[in-house]
Amino acid sequence: MTQPPAPPQRMVVGITGASGIVLGIRLLEILRELEIESHLVMSPSAEVTLAHESTLKVAQVRDLADKVHKSSDIGAAISSGSFRTMGMIIAPCSIRTLSEIATGVTSSLMSRAADVVLKERRRLVLMVRETPLHTGHLRTMTQASEMGAIIAPPVPAFYAMPKDLDEMVDHSVSRVLDLFDIDTGRMRRWKNG
């Protein structure tokens, strides 16, 4: 029996306005190094956050992606299930975006692309950035998880004994890429004995 072809080495990356924009930036850098085609959708709020959390300009972040899609472009390739991808990572993921995904409200390309990933039974990883969490946040995360999303807050692994923020970010991004069976070689794995 003939095996179906493997999905293309193509990842959708969403960057929202939640704090932690360095996660999305580093994700794009690593995907480029690994020669995995990246399709970026960046919310308008992410552009505002970028100005507060990075010295990079919007154009520089966009240049890290192989293809950039406007947040308002509901007809973009990533809004269709026939456009094959490995899945989607939203890094960081705001509570607003999480809520849109969990309720099936697709008011932007970000939430539409995530909805497509879920309906096609592909992997959707949400690096939710919020703390502390109230019950509504937790319920929304549960709802998204029940639909098939993976909730992966960027929690530092202190056993890796990171020397600086860059190592913490690399570890978090590498753990998320592990969920797609992508080994970045940038992570200190747990060893006991």
More confident residue, 157 or 148: 148
Residue 160 exposed, middle or buried by CB count within 10 Å (0-12, 13-18, 19+): middle
pLDDT at residue 93, as a whole number: 98
pTM over 0.85: yes
Determine the Cα–Cα distance for residues 130 and 153; give it in Å rounded to an integer: 9
Which band of pLDDT confidence, cut at 50, 70 and 90, is reported for residue 155? very high
Determine the Cα–Cα distance for residues 13 and 82; give it in Å rounded to an integer: 18
DSSP 151: E
Tokens of 188: 């200190």
% of residues, the chain, pLDDT over 90: 88
Residue 4 confidence (pLDDT) above 90: no
Averaged pLDDT score across all residues of the chain: 95
Note the pLDDT tens digit of each residue in 79-92. 999 999 999 999 99
Which band of pLDDT confidence, cut at 50, 70 and 90, is reported for residue 146? very high
- Look up the CATH architecture of domain 10-178: 3-Layer(aba) Sandwich (3.40)
Which band of pLDDT confidence, cut at 50, 70 and 90, is reported for residue 8? confident
135-138: long-range pairs with CB below 8 Å, 24+: 137/95, 137/98
Residue 6 confidence (pLDDT) above 80: no
Which band of pLDDT confidence, cut at 50, 70 and 90, is reported for residue 67? very high
Note the pLDDT tens digit of each residue in 12-66. 999 999 999 999 999 999 999 999 999 999 999 999 999 999 999 999 999 999 9
